[in-house]
Amino acid sequence: MAGWEQNVRKVIPYVPGEQPRQEGIIKLNTNENPYPPAPGVARALKEMNPEQFRLYPDPTASLLVNALAGRYGLSSDQIFVGVGSDDVLAMAFLTFFHGTKPILFPDITYSFYDVWADLYRIPYQCQPLDETFCIRPEDYEQENGGIVLANPNAPTGVAASLETLRRILEKNRDVIVIIDEAYIDFGGESAVSLIPSYDNLLVVQTFSKSRSMAGMRIGYAMGQSRLIQYLNDVKYSFNSYTMSQASLRLGTEAVEEEAYFSEVTNKIIATRERVKKELTRLGFVFPDSKGNFIFASHPGISAQELFEALKRENIYVRYFPKPRIQDYLRITVGTDSQMDILLSFLEDYTQSCFK
Ligand code: PMP
């Protein structure tokens, strides 16, 4: 090791899902939305004048912050925005998890949490989900330095009830509890309604899934104004201009088209429920997902082999070779026609396995 390497901050990075670019693939591996963003986004994009890019964007991101405040019935000082919810979550870890006690999150969850904890040298402890992939609220009643829960959880899709979250919040008034609601718009119960009751609750959401804008990188956090102030203090100590002018303008358009948002999310929910029935018919088992994906396993079929076979057919899904979940594939809910192609392949594949 070179001398200077001793002073390098060494980390084992998060591995994002593949982003294959070839034509004709069915991409069900990173939980993107198969439908385009709201029509107003395309209109606003056409109206954009590159001349304005000479100037720095508004560091307070007020256009987008105000639109989100209106949408969620909060005030502008209760909203923080960032470059995707990954940026918002990373900033929240840096801001709120600065103690010596371990932060807690489930053993099976979004695999970025332990990466940020390692990056910032935050001690952490993983609490095992039960055998049905549900969180056990009693596991979050011990001393800790903070809590992070994805709800619905990833990659399982399992949603915790507001009652469960309230119970956890009640027992943890002295630490920050982050609820990562990346997938909340597909049927879960949002913890936003609990914000007035808990000054230690931070709810994080994203434009990447329900608003079809993963490529624009927009995420946001909602909480009482003191939390948002602390987040902004860290943000302004790091990078004042996180949000590009394009993200601010186009994101605002997306928030304002509520009817389109409901139409798209309802369509995905309907497809998900139909695919659940079909997968059950083919012998797959899965926890009941409230996300835009299904975490499916088939007794007697190797998930890894199926993952490879799907890839050969240009159907990309996500496989996690990790303890407890190595028999599962996470399948994003695409359009009905994409799911029909997937299901027809699975029908043939399962038949050939059990001939
Ligand atoms: N949280 C969870 C649970 C996720 O699955 C993802 C998507 N990978 C994110 C946060 C981050 O999404 P984004 O940065 O696109 O908002």
Please report, for the chain, the start and end positions of each structural domain, with discontinuous segments joined by +: 24-36+259-353, 39-257
85 in contact with ligand 1, CB cutoff 6 A: yes
Q: What global pTM score does this model have?
A: 0.98
Ligand 1 atom with the shortest distance to the CA of 155: 5
Would the CB of 220 count as within 6 Å of ligand 1? Answer: no
Which sign does the torsion angle of CA 315, 321, 327, 333 carry? negative
DSSP single-letter state for residue 192? G
Give CA–CA dist 306/301, Å, rounded: 7
CA 43 to chain centre: 27
Mutate which of 80, 114, 208 for ligand 1? The one with the most ligand atoms within 8 Å of its CB, which is 208
Which strands form 79-82's sheet, in the order they lie side by side? 79-82, 219-222, 201-206, 177-180, 146-150, 103-106, 124-127
pLDDT attached to residue 167: 98
Question: Which ligand 1 atom is at minimum distance from the Cα of 206?
Answer: 16
pLDDT tens sequence across 239-293: 999 999 999 999 999 999 999 999 999 999 999 999 999 999 999 999 999 999 9
Probe target for ligand 1 pocket from 81, 86, 88, 158, with the most ligand atoms within 8 Å of CB: 86
Q: Which residue has the tokens 């992070």?
A: 148
Say how far apart CA 89 and CA 93 lie, in whole Å: 6
User: Residue 31 above 90 pLDDT?
Assistant: yes
Closest ligand 1 atom to Cα of 16: 8
Nearest-CA residue for ligand 1 atom 12 is 85
The pLDDT value given to residue 99: 96
Q: Which CATH architecture has domain 24-36+259-353?
A: Alpha-Beta Complex (3.90)
Q: Do 24-36+259-353 and 39-257 have matching folds?
A: no
- The best mutation among 30, 180, 330 to test binding of ligand 1, ranked by most ligand atoms within 8 Å of the C-beta, falls on 180
How confident is residue 349, by pLDDT bands cut at 50, 70 and 90? very high
Distance (Å, whole) CA 75 – CA 86:
23
- For the CA of 218, the nearest atom of ligand 1: 16
Q: Choose between 269 and 20: higher pLDDT.
A: 269
Return mean pLDDT, the chain.
Answer: 97
% of the chain beyond a pLDDT of 90: 95
Tens-place pLDDT, residues 51-96: 999 999 999 999 999 999 999 999 999 999 999 999 999 999 999 9
Environment class of 182 (CB within 10 Å of its CB; exposed 0-12, middle 13-18, buried 19+) = buried
Instruction: Please tell me the predicted confidence (pLDDT) of residue 21.
Output: 86
Query: 39-257, what's its fold?
Result: Aspartate Aminotransferase; domain 2 (3.40.640)
> Phi and psi (nearest 5°) for 294?
-130, 135
pLDDT at residue number 18: 86
How far from 270 is each of 98, 186, 273, 327, CA to CA, in Å? 42, 10, 5, 26
